[in-house]
Chains A and B, each alone.
Chain A
Amino acid sequence: GESVGLHLPTLSVQEGDNSIINCAYSNSASDYFIWYKQESGKGPQFIIDIRSNMDKRQGQRVTVLLNKTVKHLSLQIAATQPGDSAVYFCAEKKAAGNKLTFGGGTRVLVKP
């Protein structure tokens, strides 16, 4: 079936290093993608989004890359900090519709 999924359930990274979180999607009809960060006991918090007519978008310390050829989405976090420790979810939206479908999540653990 159509789904959004993640390659790595847990990512350990040294403080100061860059993090890369990957996400595969299978629905070619999706036109919008978004990354959320979820800290323990909290709701998902918006990080960055990208439309399907783009392949890269940068924010503050974060970059999202979209490869439509292989249906792959990634989130890069530069100079990872302890406050970046959380679970990261990718989500997609189909062109016809307004709901987000979430992937399974990747836990990022930042080691001091």
Chain B
Amino acid sequence: EPEVTQTPSHQVTQMGQEVILRCVPISNHLYFYWYRQILGQKVEFLVSFYNNEISEKSEIFDDQFSVERPDGSNFTLKIRSTKLEDSAMYFCASCEGGEKLFFGSGTQLSVL
């Protein structure tokens, strides 16, 4: 069964450093998303991406965040200068028609 894959599974970084989280969405999907989940809390929307541009973003997704689809398969989330409060599990998701999202297993980001 096709699945969304994310790398790395764990990322440890120093405050102020840049990180890039990588995702390979399901191949025939057209909508791509990043969500995050702080430990013990609910899953929060960050950004959605369709037709090679951001279609919607949340207040969390400020100027420190960016997304990119550099080729036909990868979808990345970049955090330019990480803060302690960026520590969370980051989930990539994709879907075919904008409703039923399929999630990856996540990247646990720890900012020290």
Q: Which residues of A contact B105 (CB under 8 A)?
A: 41-43
Complex CA–CA separation, A46 to B35 (angstroms): 15
Whether the Cβ atoms of B91 and A43 lie closer than 8 Å is yes
Please, which residue of chain A has its CB at the minimum distance from the CB of B4? A43
User: Size band of the A side of the interface?
Assistant: 20 to 34
Docked complex: A84-107 residues within 8 A CB-CB of B: 89, 91, 93, 97-105
Complex CA–CA separation, A36 to B100 (angstroms): 10
Decide yes or no whether A44 CB sits under 8 A from chain B: yes
Complex CA–CA separation, A105 to B44 (angstroms): 12
Complex CA–CA separation, A103 to B106 (angstroms): 19
Contacts from B to A (Cβ < 8 Å): 4, 31, 33, 35, 41-45, 48, 50, 55-56, 91, 93, 95, 98-106
Task: Give me the 5 closest cross-chain CB pairs, A-B, nearest first.
Answer: A98-B98, A43-B103, A102-B43, A44-B103, A104-B42
